[in-house]
Amino acid sequence: MYPLLCKMEVDRQQVLLPGNMPVTRSNLGCFVCIGALVITHLILMAVLVGSLASVAPEVKTTLDDVRLMVPEMHKTLAELGVMIPEIRTGMKILQQLCNSDSQCHV
């Protein structure tokens, strides 16, 4: 039984990385740093998702309002497209009237 314990201790000391590289202090330090960065990233992502979840009802209300407004805006733009030529014609007539009167300043 004693030789088996010695063999287990030797196996624990001979932990190898992929590519048969032994675990060194610098490798272990790199693993700890990478692990800390991953955990920090996960925490920050959880905070971000939590803050977005608290805003989600407001966004839904805003999107519902936008769905109602878009058709009205489309109608308004169509009416404006009809009115613009009329406005231009009116401005040309006003310019002609103003050119004939010396007291007019546009």
- 20 in any annotated domain: yes
In whole angstroms, give the CA distance from residue 40 to residue 47. 11
DSSP 103: T
R_g over Cα of the chain = 38
* 41 and 75 assigned to the same domain: no
Q: Could you tell me if residue 40 is inside a domain?
A: yes
Is the residue at 79 inside a domain? yes
Q: Is residue 29 included in any domain, yes or no?
A: yes
Whole-prediction pTM:
0.41
The verdict on residue 105 lying in a domain is yes
What DSSP element (H or E) covers 21?
A: strand 21-22
Give the list of residues 6+ apart from residue 71 with CB closer than 8 angstroms, or none: none
* Residue 6: pLDDT over 50: no
Same domain, 78 and 44: no
Residues 22-68 have pLDDT tens digits of 777 778 888 899 999 999 999 999 999 998 888 888 888 999 999 99
Lowest mean pLDDT among 17-31, 59-73, 84-98: 17-31
80 found inside a domain: yes
Confidence of residue 69 (pLDDT cuts 50, 70, 90): very high
On whether both 75 and 46 belong to a single domain, the answer is no
Examine the domain organization and report whether 42 and 16 are in the same domain: yes
Do 13 and 42 lie in one domain? The reply is yes
User: How many Å apart are CA 34 and CA 32, to the nearest integer?
Assistant: 6
The answer to whether position 63 is within a domain reads: no
Structurally, the chain folds into a number of domains equal to 2
Residue 27: which domain range? Answer: 9-51
Q: Which residues pair with 22 in a beta bridge?
A: 16
